[in-house]
Structure 1
Amino acid sequence: MDTRRLYSFIKIIDAGSITRAADILHIAQPALSQQLSALEAQFGQQLVIRSKRGVAPTEAGRTLYRHAQLILRQVDLAHAAVRVSGRAPAGSVSVGLAPYSLGAALALPLLKRVRERYPEILLHINENFGGVISEAIMTGRMDMAFIYGAGPLRGVQFEHLRTEDLFLISAGDGTREPRGNEMSLRELRGNEVSLRELERVPLLLPSRIHTVRQVVDAAFQQLALEPNVVGEVESALTLVNAVEDRLGATVLPGSAARAILDVRSLSVRRIVDPVIQVKLSMVTSDNQPLSEPALAVHDVFLELVRAFHDDPLDADPVGDKHEQ
């Protein structure tokens, strides 16, 4: 197998055109077409469908595309491993961190510790990864991800690390003047809030693609209730400003709240009746082992997760800090 043909095939699929791929690769279009024909002859399958608009992969082409990415990834890892054999781990490592999770709290410590311990590792941290996580990991575009959920998911393996309760986070005396049947958070007492009480609280939540939102919606549905969502916020910075400006409250795991909000100046109440929880797991490929630098980063991340405690949330009284 000529790996150059695989690389050219990937570029053809990514570009959607043999002509554009030839320009990217700086080779003549007839030579690139010949490489594609040679691959089709080797596998005995039509790999692309040609049209005036370009090319699109067949089912066989999509299968080869996935395997070609894995093969080239393994070749790169082999080169890197041989190059640094006997030396400290070196190379590029990509880590995905779920938004609004403990990952946000550990991103900076992870970057710092890897930089100190493994200066030859180039760490790429993505807190806004989209698309299908399993595909990103299986194709080698991402080495590992710290996400909500515990699987199963095709092509990846889950390493459950932590289960967290969800909390209602709001500005000290609640939101701006309540509307209609909305509840003023001044009416709440103590460090807990029931789901039925929460129904009347104006909420700022991530969109339905996020696991936190899905878990919250599912809890409401089980009690035949409807959350009062007044805004869907994808940006952590916007969420911080909106909560502090009393435009609404939000629901987050405790660790995520501490990562993006100054919880000491806010009201933090555990949601009960029922308690709502999310699971956090480390996800890696089920098809290929982690490279040496990726294993090093994986171990550092586990150290940070195990050393992380909930003390900052529990150290101060939970509940209204402005009721006096």
Structure 2
Amino acid sequence: MDIKQLRAFLAIADTGSITRASETLHLAQPALSRQLRMLEEDLGTPLFERTPRGMELTDAGSRLIERARRALREIDGARTEIVVASPGAVRGTVDLGLLTSQSELIAAPLVAALRASHPELMLRIYTGYSDRLREWLENGEVGLAMLTDYKTSSQLDMQPLFVEQLCLVGGPRSEDLGKAPIGLQCLVTLPLILPVFYRGLRLILDHASEARGIKLNVVAETNDTRVQKAMAEQGLGFAVLPMGSVASAVDSGSLKATPIAGEELQRRTGLAVSMMRRNSLAVRAVANELTALTQAMIQDGRWPGATWLGRS
């Protein structure tokens, strides 16, 4: 098994066709087929089935694909770091996981800061819910991630960053939504647009409402924060989100928001890196820049509703 064989395998898996894979890799079809055949002979099992729809992965191919991607990412990362561009420069590609709601605040300032401090470093940003980010981190698909409502783990090095108070969010015509905090009981009669079950913010709300014997009126569920905000803006219901994720919309008048009182209605965020792999200089550089930038944004008021918990 070698790099050429893995690249051939992934190209065929991604395109579903030897013809399209050969065009992608700029490699003749017979040579590409030979690379695949050598890999299958080495592993002792077919990796694809030829069907009318194209090349489809076998069970063995499905088990190999993520490991192959991970291996090539490690090799490409090592090659980037080893090639010296200028003395003392931090180089490489870092995969960072961010919550969709937080990425709208932190992604652009982070890229700008890294361009200034480490111009030869490439940042790739992936967004999702906290449980998916944790899965990507543990699988090695990202090098570090900002996780919310995290649990301790022997596999992850977790550093607390900040805590955010949750808010009730409604459209511009919503009445009685101001700056005064409200209690969870006030949500009982409202139509709520919430994340799907077993997701970070939904778990916080479910645990708090169950502890108080309250049944929430959920009229819609979505796995996209942007959809929650759009539906709330149109008056279809109310969302529960951190103030930081809706601050710009509140400032523009397209949404209204009111804090929900109670420590149990807070979301904690930490920065996690894997303890199961050697973290490169590039990963550490991104972690340091992200931590410093987040602290500065909170202290300067650019992250509304957040309180710094990390090291000063």
Q: Where does residue 259 of structure 2 map in the other structure?
A: 269
> Could you tell me whether the CA contact under 8 Å between 1:167 and 1:253 is conserved in 2?
yes
Q: Where does residue 32 of structure 2 map in the other structure?
A: 32
Is residue 2:160 matched to residue 1:161?
A: yes
Distance 1:222 1:61, change over 3 A: same
SS at match of 1:213: helix
Deviation string for 1:106-135 (max 9, x for gaps)? 333322321221122233344468994356
Deviation string for 1:191-235 (max 9, x for gaps)? 432222221234444455752234223433444433234565735
Distance 1:276 1:298, change over 3 A: same
> Could you tell me whether the CA contact under 8 Å between 2:16 and 2:56 is conserved in 1?
yes
Q: Where does residue 87 of structure 1 map in the other structure?
A: 88
SS at match of 1:226: coil
Please show how residues 1-324 of structure 1 align to structure 2 within 5 Å.
1-84=1-84, 86-101=87-102, 103-127=103-127, 132-133=132-133, 136-137=136-137, 142-151=142-151, 157=156, 159-162=158-161, 164-170=163-169, 175=174, 185=176, 191-208=180-197, 210-229=199-218, 234=224, 236=226, 239=229, 242-243=232-233, 248-258=237-247, 261-262=250-251, 268-272=258-262, 275-285=264-274, 287-309=276-298, 312=301
> Could you tell me whether the CA contact under 8 Å between 1:73 and 1:140 is conserved in 2?
no
- Distance between the aligned counterparts of 2:63 and 2:190, measured in 1? 49
SS at match of 2:42: helix
Shift of 1:46: 3.1
- Distance between the aligned counterparts of 1:110 and 1:210, measured in 2? 26
Shift of 1:171: 6.7
SS at match of 2:49: strand
Shift of 1:256: 3.5
> Could you tell me whether the CA contact under 8 Å between 1:13 and 1:57 is conserved in 2?
yes
Deviation string for 1:49-98 (max 9, x for gaps)? 33343333334323332222222222212221121263311233332320
AA partner of residue 159 (structure 1): M
Shift of 1:150: 1.5
Aligned Cα root-mean-square deviation (Å):
4.0
- Distance between the aligned counterparts of 2:173 and 2:91, measured in 1? 49
- Distance between the aligned counterparts of 2:203 and 2:145, measured in 1? 19
AA partner of residue 229 (structure 2): L
Percent of pairs with identical residues: 28
AA partner of residue 143 (structure 2): D
Shift of 1:291: 3.2
> Could you tell me whether the CA contact under 8 Å between 1:158 and 1:281 is conserved in 2?
no
TM-score (norm 1): 0.73
Number of residue equivalences: 301
SS at match of 1:271: coil
Shift of 1:8: 0.5
AA partner of residue 251 (structure 2): D
Asked which structure has the greater CA Rg, the reply is: 1
Deviation string for 1:277-317 (max 9, x for gaps)? 323233444543333323211111122234454784579xx
Gapped runs of 5+ residues in structure 2? Answer: 307-312
- Distance between the aligned counterparts of 1:287 and 1:13, measured in 2? 28
> Could you tell me whether the CA contact under 8 Å between 2:164 and 2:305 is conserved in 1?
no
SS at match of 1:294: helix
Gapped runs of 5+ residues in structure 1? Answer: 177-184, 316-324
